Amino acid sequence: MVEADGLFVYGPLREGGSRHAWLQRTHPEGMTRAWLPGRLFHLPEGFPALVPGPEPAAPPPGPGWVVGDFVGYGDAAELEAALADLDALEGVEEDRFSREILPVVLLGGHRYLAWAHVFHVERLPRLERHATELTDGDWGPYL
């Protein structure tokens, strides 16, 4: 079984975002800039949606990479507790987002596996019609 090393956040949970205080309440051990391969969209409801994709040939930052923060926890139990809260916040049970373990590249080039809340690739046509693609992969201006 594959285990994640932490959590990847790319929207309002990032530092400076409207839900960053929630993330701090989960007592993360640390946080650093990271990138995940995929496409990023801004939804009409005001939230981001990440669709995972293949890793680009060029390292991050750049096209095909979504920027965010890698959030680490002291142990698996602390990570699981944080994820339980986050799943409710992100609407996982309502099937708004799903949670997947994906590869991330940290500032400095280290690679880890992280949980990320994503949109299923089947939703891509709808996103392309109704959402705004952020080609630089950064939701930062909306924070």
pLDDT value for 122: 87
* 54/91: higher pLDDT: 54
> 6-142 has which CATH code?
3.10.490.10
Average of per-residue pLDDT values in the chain: 92
- Write the DSSP string, 2-71: ---SEEEE-STTSTTSTTHHHHHHT--SEEEEEEEEEEEEE-TTS-EEEEE-PPPSSPSSSTTEEEEEEE
Note the pLDDT tens digit of each residue in 81-117.
Answer: 999 888 777 766 666 788 899 999 999 999 999 999 9
Residue 91: per-residue pLDDT: 65
